[in-house]
């Protein structure tokens, strides 16, 4: 039971080293822990005590004994006895203990057994394992993930993503099909995304039409359609990038789907730095110097994209392009160009208003009034 308990206790020892211990005794033809072997040793009390004592020394020092086996016998001219005199014997036999133990336990065990007068010969020998040794480079481990050699090497094997075509995840759409503006408009219209009335934007500006793309969170098929439309736009423009970043927080589901469809790593920019954990502003693994594509749902002035790009650039990432489902056409494209960001959108406000006219939701005159209002300086 003692062996069993110790074995279980050290079962999760991660880097075991096998050692050999040789002890003196009579010839056995089976492992010493087998019941029939104990019976064979019935009249060999000294041998039993020596084997038990050796096993206890190993166990007491945290060793896990895997097995004990006989190595046969050999003629020896003498043995040491308590009086340090030589007494001839006919033969002595050797036993091999296979055990897992640490270096400290090995040294302590060897020291004790070497001073045991009942032992003719004691040797502790390391046995090489089949697994190669695990090298721990502390300096490399302490580096940020994006600066570690294995990550840098993996990026060097993969060129920047140049999206010219892609295979969609299963959504019922045929591979290679493109999401047209009309199809996307119809899907968004069916979800009542376009709201007419008086609404206020993040900037505080009143608007006669509000685009509530957050409603697509509750309709995965429509949300994926919007993401695929962005991927179509990215492919058509031939944009090159290594990461996808959604503007927090409304665009995160959209960016997640774009990342999945294009199979491009995604990063997440927080609105504020955490006061716990890693305290990062940019979550994810990235390499300094990489290019990030910013994904947004609706763009008015472009301020949210500009703020996101600024945070990414402070972390050493490049930002050259941003994409959105809808451009409200209120100066966002011009403002983003001042920050060296090329802006691309799937839909525009004019396209939405034309669609609402076709649905008899507004008139041409109402369209003109809405556009005039949107063009007013705030």
- CATH code for the domain in which residue 70 is found: 3.30.70.60
Residues in CB range of 252: below 8 A, 6 or more apart: 246, 268
Residues in CB range of 131: below 8 A, 6 or more apart: none
The DSSP bridge partners found for residue 21 are 97, 124
**Residue in this structure with the two tokens 């020291």, named with its chain if needed:** 111
Q: How far apart are CA 64 and CA 102, in angstroms?
A: 10
* 46 and 120, same domain (yes or no): yes
**Residue in this structure with the two tokens 């793309």, named with its chain if needed:** 213
Q: Does residue 116 lie in a domain region?
A: yes
Q: How far apart are CA 69 and CA 27, in angstroms?
A: 10
Predicted confidence at residue 113, as pLDDT, reads: 80
Region for residue 21 given its phi and psi (left: phi exceeds 0; alpha: psi -120 to 50; beta: otherwise): beta
Q: Does residue 152 lie in a domain region?
A: no
Q: Does residue 150 lie in a domain region?
A: no
Predicted confidence at residue 154, as pLDDT, reads: 60
* 223 and 96, same domain (yes or no): no
* 29 and 122, same domain (yes or no): yes
Tokens of 157: 């094997």
Cβ(23)–Cβ(95) below 8 Å: yes
Q: Does residue 10 lie in a domain region?
A: yes
Predicted confidence at residue 14, as pLDDT, reads: 29
* 308 and 174, same domain (yes or no): yes
Cβ(248)–Cβ(271) below 8 Å: yes
* 79 and 167, same domain (yes or no): no
Q: Does residue 136 lie in a domain region?
A: no
pTM, entire model: 0.56
Q: Does residue 368 lie in a domain region?
A: yes
Residues in CB range of 107: below 8 A, 6 or more apart: none
Q: Which of 105, 127, 149 is the last residue of a domain?
A: 127
Q: How far apart are CA 115 and CA 103, in angstroms?
A: 19
Predicted confidence at residue 54, as pLDDT, reads: 82
Q: Which of 252, 254, 287 is nearest to 270 (CA)?
A: 252
Q: What is the 3-state secondary structure (H, E, C) of the chain?
A: CHHHHHHHHCCCCCCCCEEEEEEEECCCCCCCCCHHHHHHCCCCHHHHHHHHHHHHHHHHCCCEEEEEEEEEEECCCCEECCCCCEECCCCEEEEEEEEECCHHHHHHHHHHHHCCCCCCCCCEEEECCCCCCCCCCHHHHCCCHHHCHHHHHHHHCCCCEECCCCCCCCCCCCCCCCCCHHHHHHHHHHCCCEEEEEEECCCCCEEEEEECHHHHHHCHHHHHHHHHHHHHHHHHHCCEECEEEECCCCCHHHHHHHHHHHCCCEEEECCCCCCCCCCCCEECCCCCCCEEEEEEEEECCCHHHHHHHHHHHHCCCEEEEEEEEEECCCCHHHHHHHCCCEEEEEEEHHHHHHHHHHCCCCCHHHHHHHHHHHCCCC
Residue % of the chain over a pLDDT of 70: 67
* 312 and 240, same domain (yes or no): yes
* Structural domain range at position 81: 2-127
CATH number of the domain that 287 lies in? 3.40.50.2020
Q: Does residue 69 lie in a domain region?
A: yes
* 104 and 53, same domain (yes or no): yes
Q: Which of 76, 102, 127 is the last residue of a domain?
A: 127
Predicted confidence at residue 73, as pLDDT, reads: 58
* 252 and 367, same domain (yes or no): yes
* 201 and 109, same domain (yes or no): no
Q: Total structural domains in the chain? A: 2
* 123 and 235, same domain (yes or no): no
Q: Which of 290, 289, 295 is nearest to 344 (CA)?
A: 295
Angle between helices 181-190 and 349-358 (to 10 degrees): 70
Q: Which of 106, 127, 148 is the last residue of a domain?
A: 127
* 80 and 166, same domain (yes or no): no
* 52 and 119, same domain (yes or no): yes
For residue range 131-189, what is the model confidence (pLDDT) as tens digits? 666 676 777 777 776 676 766 666 555 455 544 444 444 443 434 457 889 999 999 99
Please list the pLDDT of the chain residue by residue as tens digits (378 residues).
Answer: 233 222 222 222 223 333 344 333 333 333 444 344 444 444 456 667 777 888 888 888 888 888 777 666 555 555 555 555 555 544 566 777 778 888 888 888 888 887 777 676 677 777 666 566 667 677 777 777 667 676 666 655 545 554 444 444 444 343 445 788 999 999 999 999 999 999 888 777 889 999 999 999 999 999 999 999 999 999 999 999 999 999 998 999 999 999 999 999 999 998 776 666 566 889 999 999 999 999 999 999 999 999 999 999 999 999 999 999 999 999 999 999 999 999 999 999 999 999 999 999 999 999 999 999 998 876
Q: Does residue 149 lie in a domain region?
A: no
**Nearest 5 degrees, angle CA 129-CA 57-CA 13?**
40
Q: Which of 258, 319, 273 is nearest to 294 (CA)?
A: 319
Cβ(169)–Cβ(156) below 8 Å: no
């Amino acid at each position: 039971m003692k062996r069993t308990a110790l074995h279980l206790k050290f079962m999760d020892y991660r880097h075991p080293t096998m050692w050999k211990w040789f002890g003196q005794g009579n010839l056995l033809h089976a492992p010493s822990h087998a019941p029939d072997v104990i019976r064979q040793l019935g009249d060999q009390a000294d041998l039993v005590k020596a084997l038990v004592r050796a096993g206890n020394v190993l166990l007491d020092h945290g060793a896990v004994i895997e097995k004990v086996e006989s190595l046969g016998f050999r003629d020896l001219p003498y043995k040491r006895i308590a009086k340090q005199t030589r007494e001839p014997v006919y033969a002595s036999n050797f036993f091999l203990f296979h055990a897992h133990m640490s270096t400290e336990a090995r040294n302590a065990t060897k020291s004790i057994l070497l001073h045991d007068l009942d032992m003719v010969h004691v040797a502790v020998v390391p046995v090489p394992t089949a697994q190669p040794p695990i090298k721990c480079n502390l300096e490399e481990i302490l580096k940020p993930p994006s600066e570690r050699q294995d990550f840098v090497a993996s990026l060097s094997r993969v060129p920047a993503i140049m999206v010219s075509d892609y295979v969609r995840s299963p959504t019922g759409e045929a591979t290679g099909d493109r999401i047209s503006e009309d199809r996307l408009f119809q899907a968004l219209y069916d979800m009542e995304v376009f709201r007419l009335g008086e609404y206020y934007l993040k900037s505080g500006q009143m608007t006669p039409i509000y685009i509530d793309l957050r409603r697509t969170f509750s309709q995965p098929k429509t949300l994926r359609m919007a993401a695929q439309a962005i991927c179509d736009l990215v492919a058509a423009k031939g944009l090159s990038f290594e990461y996808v970043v959604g503007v927090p927080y409304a665009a995160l589901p959209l960016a997640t789907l774009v990342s999945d469809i294009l199979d491009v790593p995604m990063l997440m920019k927080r609105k504020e730095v955490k006061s716990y954990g890693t305290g990062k502003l940019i979550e994810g693994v990235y390499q300094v110097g990489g290019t990030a594509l910013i994904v947004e749902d609706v763009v008015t002035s472009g301020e949210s994209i500009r703020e996101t790009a600024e945070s990414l650039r402070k972390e050493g990432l490049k930002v050259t392009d941003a994409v959105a489902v809808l451009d409200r056409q209120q100066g966002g494209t011009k403002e983003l160009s001042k920050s060296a960001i090329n802006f691309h959108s799937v839909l525009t406000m004019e396209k939405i208003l034309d669609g609402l006219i076709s649905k008899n939701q507004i008139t041409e005159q109402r369209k003109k009034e809405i556009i005039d209002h949107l063009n007013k300086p705030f």
